[in-house]
Amino acid sequence: MKLQSALNFSHTLLEQIVQPGDVVVDATAGMGHDSLKLAQLVGPRGHVYSFDIQAPAVSATKNRLQEAGYHNATVVQLGHEHLDQVVTTPIKSAIFNLGYLPTGDHQIITQPVTTITALQKCAELLQPTGAIIVVCYYGHPGGVSEKEQVLEWAQQLPQQSFNVLQYQFINQVHQPPFLLAIQKR
């Protein structure tokens, strides 16, 4: 057994949480890797709602899903802080990849206030046993502030309602990403 990176562990957790027929959210679509994973897991009876503020990310995600033959996703160019305008049913899971799009403009980063607004909205939509997965990259300008505010938000969630896990390599250089799993009890 090899310990997984935060990114690989996020997909391992999604495989455990998400079932065929579920409704799920990709809050930071980017190149669409998480949206594709989610589309595979929910299958034709389920649905993926994917959000990104950048048009190239929306196009890349739509293309990736289309090329793989998935038609069970709605990909919108909209900030995830407004996700409740689109998602109105309970969700089984949501995934956030915080930071910037590696293939895009590194100045366009997720921001603490909008990230936390979106996390709060997902927490309200989450079904019991469902979980929000956050992969937090914070090695860029602004990243540490977002990391601290997201951790503060997650730590104040009442333990009667949520279990919150942090997964992180603590002996690596260069600020490797860490993962939060926020499960509704």
**Span interacting with ligand SAM, options 15-23, 39-47, 76-84, 167-175, rule CB under 6 A:** 76-84
Question: Are the C-beta atoms of residues 148 and 111 closer than 8 Å to each other?
Answer: no
Binding residue for ligand SAM, selected from 57, 65, 150, 154, defined by CB under 6 A: 57
Is position 183 an interface residue for ligand SAM (rule: CB under 6 A)? no
Is position 97 an interface residue for ligand SAM (rule: CB under 6 A)? yes
Question: Are the C-beta atoms of residues 180 and 10 closer than 8 Å to each other?
Answer: no
Rounded Cα distance between 68 and 49, Å, is: 17
Binding residue for ligand SAM, selected from 4, 5, 43, 53, defined by CB under 6 A: 53
Is position 79 an interface residue for ligand SAM (rule: CB under 6 A)? yes
Is the four-CA dihedral 17, 23, 29, 31 of positive or negative sign?
Answer: positive
Most distant CA pair in the chain: distance in Å? 43
Pattern 118-157, ligand SAM, x by CB under 6 A:
----------------------------------------
Rounded Cα distance between 78 and 156, Å, is: 27
Is position 110 an interface residue for ligand SAM (rule: CB under 6 A)? yes
- Strands 126-136, 162-167: pairing is unpaired
Residue ranges in contact with ligand SAM by CB under 6 A: 28, 30-34, 51-54, 57, 79-81, 97, 99, 101, 108, 110, 114
